[in-house]
Copies of this chain bind each other. A is one copy, B any other.
Amino acid sequence: MDIGFIGLGSMGHAIVENMLKAGHRVRVWNRTSERAQPLVSLGAEIVDTPAAAFAGEAVFSMLADDAAVADVIDAALLEQAPRDLVHVNMATVSVALAEAMAREHAARGIHYVAAPVMGRPDVAAAGKLTIITAGPAEAVNRVQPIFDVIGQKTCRIGSLPQHASVIKLAANFALASAIETLGEAASLLAGHGVAMTDYLDVITASVFPGPVYAGYGKLIAERRYEPAMFKARLGLKDVRLALAAAEASSTPMPLGSLLRDNLLEVMARGEGEKDFAVLGEVAARRAGR
């Protein structure tokens, strides 16, 4: 396929590599073009403007947050984009922005598909992302071959793009909850001189297999929060978006509030660039350890 790609952070970079390896033609744009250079040897074509990426059969974007999305994908860009283009937004954005984007794309005859993903850069590099996609069925069908190349599984959840946002935010909320759980458990164990590794052996062998409890548990056991695989600052951003989405339907989320407060403490302590696992340090500090 002839694809545009906007946003070459570590996630975008890994995704584009897999697109190229699968033989697709990819025009890439990034705010700072040096990020794009290493992809040229794999066949990527660097373009100078987002508009040049907004062409071909489909354009994918993977930008940092609502502000970046709103800034790059503006009305002017949409106005000049070809009718019938499919735009796949892979960023984790607010429910409100997802709704607004869907509306604005539709008004101009552009297909808007939301496709936030589960998985960090290493998972993206391995082509093992789980893709949460929502949008018009026909548009999703057209980009499904690309999803097959970059992910291990595509979860299609209907035609409303904002529903993908809700699921992604609820998933990251669950991630944050698990980390908070591990942090408080670690403090309980430490208070009785029990090794966190023994605890992790037990729970990962029984109720909690999978990468989250083992992986974040290890970081907390070692109190090692750098380098960050997923920054606490970005974790807070997603918890905020989940709470905002909940508030829009008057839904109390007390555990969400607890996470927000602990992550604000992380920010206040200047630890926002550390790994999300640093939530464990908040618990440790409160217990005087």
Contact = CB atoms under 8 A, between A and B. Distances in A.
Interface of A: 95, 118-119, 130, 132, 153, 155, 157-158, 162-163, 166-167, 169-171, 173-175, 177-178, 180-182, 184-185, 187-195, 198-199, 201-203, 205-213, 242, 245-258, 260-262, 264-265, 267-270, 283, 286-289
State the oligomeric state as a number of copies.
Answer: 4
Contact of A184 (B163, B207, B254, B288): B254
Contact of A268 (B185, B210, B268, B287): B287
B207 A171 contact: yes
Given A130-B205, A174-B181, A177-B177, A255 B258 contact: yes
Given A166-B192, A251-B191, A252-B264, A208 B212 contact: yes
Contacts of A211: 207
A268 to B, nearest CB: 3
A251 B188 contact: yes
A202 B155 contact: yes
A198 B157 contact: yes
Given A132-B202, A153-B205, A252-B287, A166 B195 contact: no
Please list the 10 inter-chain residue pairs (A to B) with the smallest Cβ-Cβ separation, ordered nearest first.
A191-B249, A268-B288, A257-B257, A118-B206, A130-B206, A252-B261, A250-B268, A177-B181, A250-B267, A251-B287
27 contacts: A130-B205, A167-B202, A170-B189, A171-B199, A174-B203, A174-B208, A174-B213, A177-B255, A184-B254, A187-B246, A187-B252, A187-B253, A188-B242, A188-B246, A190-B251, A191-B245, A191-B248, A192-B245, A207-B211, A250-B267, A251-B286, A252-B265, A254-B254, A254-B261, A255-B258, A265-B287, A268-B287
A216 to B, nearest CB: 10
Contacts of A269: 288
Contacts of A187: 246, 251-253
Contacts of A251: 187-188, 190-191, 264, 268, 286-287
A3 B192 CA distance: 32
Contacts of A258: 254-255, 257-258
Contacts of A203: 118, 171, 174
